[in-house]
Each structure stands twice: as C-alpha cells, then as structure tokens.
Amino acid sequence: MANYPDALNSVFHALSDPTRRAVVQRLGRGPASVSELAEPFDIGLPTFMKHVGVLEDAGLIRTSKTGRIRTCTLDQKKLSPAERWFDEQRSVWASRYGNLDKLLDQLNGKNDES
Amino acid sequence: MANYPDALNSVFHALSDPTRRAVVQRLGRGPASVSELAEPFDIGLPTFMKHVGVLEDAGLIRTSKTGRIRTCTLDQKKLSPAERWFDEQRSVWASRYGNLDKLLDQLNGKNDES
C-alpha cells in the first residue's frame, strides 16, 4: 500500500512524544550534542537516549561520535512524507466539497427547469 | 508548555498506524458506519474497534449509534494543530537560514573592507 508506507508509522510515532518533538524543533536551528539536547529535560540520560534512538530509527536524526561527544543532526526531508499526508487529506476533502458543489448545481438546474 | 499540548501526542499517536490513517482518509469523503469502515481490512472487529477508540480518544472522529448502526464522522479541525506543528518547524528552519544569510552578508562586508 504505497499510500501508507512504514516510514509514516515511525515518523508519526516519533512525533507522538513532547520530548522528541522538542528535540526535532531544537535541531531545526542546527546540530547539537546529546548533552546539550538533554539539558532542558528533567529525565535521566538512559531515558533521553531512548528518545534519541526512536528519532534515529525513524530517520529524523543522524548521530555521529567524535571522541566522547555524540552530535545529532536533523534530516528535515524525512518530515516531508508526513507533511504530504496532510496535503493528501486536504485534497480528499476538497474533492468531496467539489462533488457537493456539483450536486447543488444539478439540483439548481432541475429547479430552473421546473 | 503551550507548544507541546497533549492533543498533539494523541493525534500523532493516532496517525502512527496505517489502519487508522486509512480510516481518517475514508472519513474525509464523508461519514461511514463501523462495518463499512472495517470492510477493507483483514482484522477482527474487536481489533478494529480498538483503532476506532484510539481515533475517538484523539478527538479525530466522533461516533453516534442509531439502532444497531454506529456511524463515524471525521472532525477535520482536530488535525490542524498537527499541521501547524510542521509549519512551525518550517519557520524555525527559515529563521536559521535567514541567520546564515546575515552571517554571509557580514563576512562579505568584511571581505570588501579588507
């Protein structure tokens, strides 16, 4: 089912948590180290690393290690399929309302003839 | 934290499953009964009803029962906060690239003076 790729499952799952959304938002301003990213959150590092892992599995972030510093980088284009999903819904609604408009026109046409 | 409401958690969680996304997409064309909605899926009714419950808890659909027929209706506006979240990310990236542009202008200015 081309419309429902696994990628969408993992991206929407990744975004269903406020800590992970905040990390994505922070990384939108540029790469950051794990300790920098974890700093605003009142959670232990192992829990934070699980969030980092979920974002990495979804492909939303890449991480690289230099010495003892692990740096995270956002891969913005991996958000695109999720954005496109919302656009697709809008076109479904638009075609629905288009059909309702056509029906109204037909009903009006009938009324004019009577 | 106004930017990370619970509503976003439950909406993104609801959208992290292909069956639930397909139900949202189908309901975009108009209300439908549970049995009509369940028909394309090779899963049992109890499992399907769990998906309906997740969508209902997220506020994405409303259900009403007349006789033995339960009808589901999409509440499209409940998708808006999730769409807005993506728009917010775009503005974070835009301001980042705006800042990089300013920096480049400053560097070019310095080069001109030297």
Cα separation, A82 vs B81, in Å, equals 14
Q: Residue A1: its chain B contacts at CB < 8 A?
A: 18
Q: Does B114 score more than 70 pLDDT?
A: no
pLDDT-based confidence at residue A2 (cuts at 50, 70, 90): very low
Residues of chain B with Cβ-Cβ distance to A61 below 8 Å are none
CB A23 within 8 A of CB B27: no
pLDDT tens, residue by residue, A49-107: 999 999 999 999 999 999 999 999 999 999 999 999 999 998 888 888 778 788 888 88
For residue B88, the chain A residue with the least C-alpha distance is A25
How far CA A76 is from CA of A4, A34, A35, A50, B101, in Å, comes to 20, 18, 21, 20, 19
The confidence band for A1, taking pLDDT boundaries of 50, 70 and 90, is very low
What ipTM describes this predicted complex? 0.84
What's the mean pLDDT in B60-84? Answer: 95
For residue A3, pLDDT over 70 is answered with: no
Nearest-angstrom CA–CA distance, A18 and B9: 7
Q: B43: distance to nearest CA of chain A, Å?
A: 16
- Taking CB atoms and an 8 Å limit, are A28 and B3 in contact across chains? no
CA distance B23 to B37: 7
Beta bridge partners of B72: B32, B63
Choose among B10, B25, B83: nearest Cβ to A92: B25
More confidently predicted of B111 and B40 = B40
Query: Cα separation of A13 and A8, whole Å?
Result: 8
Angle at the Cα of A15 (from A11 to A20), degrees rounded to 5?
115
* A112 confidence band (pLDDT: 50, 70, 90): low
Is the pLDDT score of B72 beyond 70?
yes
Q: What is the pLDDT of residue A64?
A: 97
- CA-closest candidate to residue A92, choices B8, B10, B95, B21: B21
- Give pLDDT, residue A32: 97
Q: Are A55 and A20 in contact (CB under 8 A)?
A: yes
Average pLDDT, chain B: 89
DSSP per residue over A85-114, as a string?
A: HHHHHHHHHHHHHHHHHHHHHHHHHHHHH-
Query: Does residue A48 surpass a pLDDT of 80?
Result: yes
With an 8 Å Cβ cutoff, are B21 and A8 in contact?
Answer: yes
C-beta separation of B36 from A54 below 8 A: no
Q: List residues of B whose CB lies inside 8 A of any A CB.
A: 1, 3-4, 8-10, 12-13, 15-18, 21-22, 24-25, 28-30, 76, 79, 82-83, 85-86, 88-89, 92-93, 95-96
Whether the CA torsion A41, A43, A48, A54 is positive or negative: it is: negative
